[in-house]
Structure 1
Amino acid sequence: MSGDSRLEGLVLKAGPLGESDRLLTLLSASDGLVRLAVPGARKPKSSLAAAVPLAVLHLQVGSGRGLRRVRQLEVRRNFAALAQRLETLAAAQGLAELSLQLVPEGAAVPGVLDDLLLQLARLDLVVQERSEGVEALALAVQGSVHLLALGGYALPLAHCARSGARLEPPLGDWSWRCSLIPAEGLVLGAVAGAQLVLNASELALLQRLPRPALPRKRDGSLMGPLPVWLRLLQLVEIWSREHLARSPRAWRLVREALVPRGPAAASSGSGNRWSP
C-alpha cells in the first residue's frame, strides 16, 4: 500500500491489545525500539499470528501518526526452540529485558541487535547439542556484559575505581580480593560495604567476557564452575540495579533452573580454588 514502510527486527515483547490484536515491541537496528499494533494476531487462523517474542520478523508497516499497524509479516528466524529448556528460555528473556532497558524508543543503539541475535543463536545451540545448563548461564552473563557496554554502562574491569591501579588478578594467590562498589566500580581489596567480593580467578574470568567468545579450556570445555558463574550473574544484577534502576526478572528463573534445591551451590565463591 502507498505510504507503507518496511521494517525488520527482533520481537522483544508482545502483549494483548484490544479484543484480538497484539502489541509488539520490536528491536530494530535502524530505529531502536518500535511499538507496533498487529491487527487480529491473537486469532488462531490469523496470517499475523507469528508475531511472537523472540521471532525475527520482516514487516510491512502502515504509515501515519500514533501507533503504526503491521500489514504483512515474514518470519526470518524463530527462537521458539529455546522454550524446550527453562535455563535457555530464561537466559533469552533476561537478555531481552536488558535490551528493553538499554535501547530507547525510536533511537538506534549500534551493535545491540547483532549481539543479542548472536547470543540467542548460541543459546539455540545449547538446546540442539544438549549442552550443560551452565552454558546457558555463561551466555546470559557474557551477553549482559556485552549489552551493558554497548548501551553505555560498561563494567569497569581494567582499573581500581579508587586508586586507578590496574586490576591484574594474580592467579594462584588465594588471598587476593577485589570488591564491587556499585556506585564506583571494582576496588582493590576486601572493602567494607562491598556488595560482592571476588577472588583472583573470578575477576580473571570476568575480564575475559568482553571478548567475542566464551572463555574455554584447551579441550573446549567451559572455564569456571557453576557457583562462579552464578556469582558473576549476581554481579551483573547488582550493576544493573545500580545503573538502570532494576535488573531483569528472568535472572531469578535462570538461577532456579540450575539450583532447584536452594542457594547452596551459589554460596560465596571467594574460596573456590580453580584457575582459568
Structure 2
Amino acid sequence: MVSDTTLEGLALATGPLGENDRLLTLLSQDEGLTRLAVPGARRPRSSLAAAVPLAHLRLQVVGRRGLRRVKQLQVLHNYSALAQRLEPLAAAQGLAELCLRLVPEQAPAPEILADLLLQLGRLEELVRERGERREALAIAVQGSVHLLALGGYALPLQSCCRTGAPLEPPLGDRQWHCSLLPGEGLALGALAGARLVLWSSELALLQRLPRPGLPLRPGGELMGPEPVWLHLLELIEAWSGDHLGRSPRAFRLLRSGSASMPPSSPPLR
C-alpha cells in the first residue's frame, strides 16, 4: 500500500490535465519544483478547486513514481487580493515565472520559497495600503535580485567584469557609467554593444538591493523615481534572458503599464 505524503508550498502554475483534472506546479521547501495531478480540480464544486496559482497550500499527496496525485488540500493563504491591481499582480506573476526557471525539480529550495513568500506579502500589503506603482516595481526588482542570487545567477554588482576594478559609483557624477554586457556582466564605462548603460545613481541603488529591506530615505520614503526602477527592471529582464533563456513575460506587462519611460542611456563610445 502506498503511503500518503504531506507537501507544503506555493502554487506557481496550473494547466489542464485530461477533461476535469489540473496539472499543478508547486514550489516547496523540501522538493523544489514538483508537478502534481489534481483530480477533478476543474469542476467548480470540487474540494480541490482551490489549487490555483499564488495559493500557499498544504497538500496530501499519494503515489511514489510518475505523476503523483493530490488527495486533499488545505489553503494556508491565497494571494488573490493581488488581482485588485495590475502592478502588484504582474510583479507577483513575474517573480513566480522566475522561480519556474531557477528552481530544479525535486531539489530542496527552502530559501527561495521563503524569499518569494516575503515578496508576495509585501505586494499584498501594497494593495491593502494603496501604495504607489513604483513600489511594485521596486519589489519586483529587489525580489528578482534575491531570487537570482539564491538560484545561482547573482548579478555581479561589485567589480568590472573585464578589468576586475571595483564598481564604486560616485553619486552625483553624471560622467560615470557602467554597461551591462551580454553574457559577461557589468563593465566600467558606456561601451558599444552594451545591453543597457547605468548612471552612477542607478548602480548605487542596485547595489543596495541584496539587503533584506527596500532602500528607504531617512523619512521612510522609497528611494529612486519610477523611471529608474523601470530601467533596473529592464536590466533584470536582460540578465535573466541571457542566463535563463527567457525573461519573465509578466515583467513586460508591468513595464508597459507605465506612461513613464526609462531615463535615456548615455551615449555609447
Same fold flag (TM > 0.5): yes
- SS of residue matched to 2:207: helix
1:1-276 aligned at under 5 Å gives the runs 3-259=3-259, 265-268=261-264
Query: In the alignment, is the contact (CA less than 8 A) between 1:231 and 1:269 conserved in 2?
Result: no
- For structure 2, the 5+ residue unaligned runs are none
CA distance in 2, matches of 1:129, 1:256: 23
CA distance in 2, matches of 1:195, 1:256: 19
CA distance in 1, matches of 2:15, 2:83: 18
Q: What code does the residue aligned with 2:182 have? A: P
User: What CA RMSD, in Å, does the superposition of the two structures yield over aligned residues?
Assistant: 1.4
Query: In the alignment, is the contact (CA less than 8 A) between 1:134 and 1:258 conserved in 2?
Result: no
CA distance in 2, matches of 1:270, 1:95: 29
Q: What code does the residue aligned with 1:54 have? A: L
Q: What code does the residue aligned with 2:141 have? A: V
Kindly state the Cα deviation for residue 108 of structure 1 after the two structures are TM-superposed: 1.8
- SS of residue matched to 1:83: helix
Q: What code does the residue aligned with 1:190 have? A: A
CA distance in 2, matches of 1:270, 1:232: 15
Kindly state the Cα deviation for residue 95 of structure 1 after the two structures are TM-superposed: 0.3
Number of residue pairs the alignment of both structures matches: 267
- For structure 1, the 5+ residue unaligned runs are 272-276
CA distance in 2, matches of 1:193, 1:209: 26
Q: What code does the residue aligned with 1:266 have? A: P
Kindly state the Cα deviation for residue 155 of structure 1 after the two structures are TM-superposed: 0.3
Q: What is the CA deviation profile of residues 110-138 of structure 1, one whole-angstrom value per residue up to 9, with x for unaligned ones?
A: 41100000000000011000001110011
CA distance in 1, matches of 2:17, 2:181: 42
CA distance in 1, matches of 2:258, 2:61: 41
Percent identity of the aligned residues?
A: 68
Kindly state the Cα deviation for residue 267 of structure 1 after the two structures are TM-superposed: 4.2
CA distance in 1, matches of 2:53, 2:24: 8
CA distance in 1, matches of 2:229, 2:90: 15
CA distance in 1, matches of 2:56, 2:266: 41
Kindly state the Cα deviation for residue 270 of structure 1 after the two structures are TM-superposed: 5.2
